[in-house]
Structure 1
């Protein structure tokens, strides 16, 4: 029975794996998988968790600080205090040695401290909250980076596969041509040198096909790595996805770029806010601070170790307690201009962030304009390459007919075929460049997460 159950489990596991391996992954599915499994993104999310703990740590400074302490002391050799003999009724000029303290001493104490007014603590609380937002924004930036990279690799992988499909079609055509020409050579209707040239071209196509297949495999592995998927896990991409690009390759209203939608710019704004809080924290060091504290202790002393006994049982221990409340006011007066130097550093850091924001604004606007130009140029290229493919296909078919009728030589046919393959690959590359430029437009508008829908 155990063997039967084990066999069923194994079969179910193999069946589930095969079903997953054969399923086709759309771009949206790849992106969702990557957001859930990308290792670098997972690390960034841990940094976000770290930010929340840091906020809690800073918030703790504004809460009461409570501590308790217990201490037992055994005065094995007590301190001796010399006193004049006449103080204890002795002869003048003599010295008596008196032992100080008792042998056993037990103390239990507790302290409570509360910041009443400390500008640095209050500023730190606001800064910690802003820091938590900063970590969340870093996570959002990492998510956008993963989406962008996975999308790039997804379309690049589709192009590599399309090149393989093109080569497969040409290998099939050349194989049929070799078979036909081989028969003609046997019957004395064609030259052997023509057959050899065809075989050379066929071998070249097979070599190119192997290279294209290797390139496809490499890009598939890169895609799986970016997704956080095991490289040994096979994936299938939809066969129609790449061809759909052509029908969707149309001019669009790109609109204007909103800097507030770009995570890079928002991160700089948040850095500016954090640096402003840092400056306020340095300025807060000029303010006085006020703290309230209280402590209580309960002490037991005895020359015998009988402090756990009660008086009724003959204990010689004496117990007493102490309590105190204090209000501490600290007024900073002079620190050698250290605070002034820290404030100056904060001012310089704010100016640096301002310059970074100006440079980022210029860079993002340039990226947006360049992406629009790339999309428009690629649309024109797609149209031209599509016409070129149709023309090359027409030339090839015409040349093939003429070759079969003996009106064209083999060189013309092979040249026409080479031109057709080149036109098809150029067309596929143009579609890829269009999708990559379109991706840059989406990124420039801050809408990368729309690709998940």
Structure 2
């Protein structure tokens, strides 16, 4: 099931910011996304859950198919059991039961014919579980990409603000020096000097705050990418405005697209299907079930291994199971 990524990236799109990689960069946006997708633990767990769900679906399919099994047994009796029978007119008589050597081998097959919807409900549940796991994987993948892009662009934005603030600081310092020179020749008063100095001094705390914010964002990026703590990374690229892709869309069109593509709504629909299948499965426990089985075996009994002679037997049986009373357990589960 494929979904549009517009909903997940709407925050970035509305800000109308995009990244244009530059030459000679140490970490591009594409490289950061690739590294995160390869190393994110939550995404790996989602991929493992999908594989588990796929295996569960294959297992559910196996429940609809015939089951074949082979068996064999070889027995040597060192002491045979003895049964004493009181025979009128002859008195108690001991009779030895069985043979010294016994061998049995065969092949059996069984096939469910009617399960009151249990097997098909299990199959639907397994398929729905696989679809849920696939949606969750795509949701986690888009979440990883969104986080990387958000952090990456926030870092570039902070860097551009730092550069602009440093230029303002240089400009304010130059203005202060000019006002001080003008005061020395009598063309400016002390109040104008103080104004210029205040403007210059107030930039420094703002610059320190921006640099601290950059360090915090870099740390968050390093942690999210599972890089070594303390490792310094440099990002490259520049910010540019981009067109709003929703400019020509109406509010109703955007709402409709969101309802069609949001992963949360898709998960709710699949969870509803899962609950319906679980209810049918619970109800089937109180309904009849029919299965058929067949068996082919070879048996041999003798007092000596050289006298072993095998005889074949075949049988087919139909089994019907009808639950009558369970103390209300099945009714409560429905």
- TM-score normalised by length of structure 2: 0.75
Partner of 1:121: 119
Q: In the alignment, does 2:308 pair up with 1:317?
A: yes
SS in 2 for 1:291: strand
Q: In the alignment, does 2:79 pair up with 1:77?
A: yes
Offset of 1:216 from its aligned partner?
A: 0.9
Structure with greater Cα Rg: 1
Q: Within 2, Cα distance between the matches of 1:291 and 1:212?
A: 73
SS in 1 for 2:233: coil
Partner of 1:264: 264
Could you tell me whether the CA contact under 8 Å between 1:25 and 1:235 is conserved in 2? no
Could you tell me whether the CA contact under 8 Å between 2:27 and 2:233 is conserved in 1? no
Partner of 1:214: 212
Q: Find 1:25's aligned residue among 16, 28, 51.
A: 28
Q: Find 2:105's aligned residue among 83, 96, 108.
A: 108
SS in 2 for 1:236: coil
Question: Cα gap change, 1:69/1:204 in structure 2, threshold over 3 Å: closer, same or farther?
Answer: farther
Q: In the alignment, does 2:70 pair up with 1:68?
A: yes
Q: Deviation per CA, 1:70-124, whole angstroms, max 9, x where unpaired?
A: 222232332121123x58xxx733x333332222322223221111122211222
| Structure with higher RCO (Cα < 8 A, 6+ apart) | 2
SS in 1 for 2:310: strand
Q: Which has the higher strand share?
A: 2
SS in 2 for 1:123: helix
SS in 2 for 1:266: helix
Partner of 1:48: 50
4+ residue stretches of structure 1 with deviation over 4 A? 28-33, 174-192, 194-208, 227-231, 247-251
Q: Find 1:160's aligned residue among 158, 175, 178.
A: 158
Question: Cα gap change, 1:224/1:210 in structure 2, threshold over 3 Å: closer, same or farther?
Answer: same
Structure 2 stretches of 5 or more lacking a match?
1-21
Partner of 1:144: 142
Offset of 1:278 from its aligned partner?
A: 1.4
Counterparts of residues 385-404 of structure 1 (less than 5 Å): none
Partner of 2:279: 279
Q: Find 2:322's aligned residue among 331, 350, 360.
A: 331
Partner of 2:13: none
Question: Cα gap change, 1:59/1:297 in structure 2, threshold over 3 Å: closer, same or farther?
Answer: same
Counterparts of residues 216-365 of structure 1 (less than 5 Å): 216-227=214-225, 232=231, 234-239=233-238, 241=239, 244-245=240-241, 248=243, 252-255=247-250, 256=252, 257-258=255-256, 259-304=259-304, 307=305, 315-343=306-334
Q: Within 1, Cα distance between the matches of 2:319 and 2:52?
A: 33
Offset of 1:190 from its aligned partner?
A: 10
Q: Within 2, Cα distance between the matches of 1:143 and 1:67?
A: 43
Offset of 1:126 from its aligned partner?
A: 2.4
Question: Cα gap change, 1:149/1:183 in structure 2, threshold over 3 Å: closer, same or farther?
Answer: same
SS in 2 for 1:67: strand
Structure 1 stretches of 5 or more lacking a match?
1-18, 308-314, 344-453
Question: Cα gap change, 1:318/1:138 in structure 2, threshold over 3 Å: closer, same or farther?
Answer: same
Partner of 1:433: none
Could you tell me whether the CA contact under 8 Å between 1:34 and 1:226 is conserved in 2? yes
Q: Within 1, Cα distance between the matches of 2:246 and 2:268?
A: 33
Could you tell me whether the CA contact under 8 Å between 1:65 and 1:112 is conserved in 2? yes
- TM-score normalised by length of structure 1: 0.57
Q: Within 2, Cα distance between the matches of 1:294 and 1:51?
A: 32
